[in-house]
Amino acid sequence: MDKRYTARLATRLTISTDTRLRQFALLHRRRISHVLDDVLDAALPTAGDLAAQLARLASNSPDTAHDPR
């Protein structure tokens, strides 16, 4: 599968996490962005799961569209 890396993520990491990320990328001869993409992809819920969670959240929240006053 050919991925296109078009989005940038700017965040702060602890020194130990940064070191492990760089070492892992070096050991596997891969770019950090590719390693990080795979790690985040594995850790995050799928788009479908997130949509379902958002739908449940929306259906459970009280209706604030109208004020009964």
Q: pTM of this prediction? A: 0.68
6-15 long-range contacts, CB within 8 A, separation 24+: 9/36
Distance of CA 51 to the CA centre of its chain: 14
Nearest to 6 by CA among 37, 27, 29: 37
Question: pLDDT, tens digit, for every residue of 3-61?
Answer: 888 889 899 999 999 999 999 999 999 999 999 999 999 999 999 999 999 999 999 87
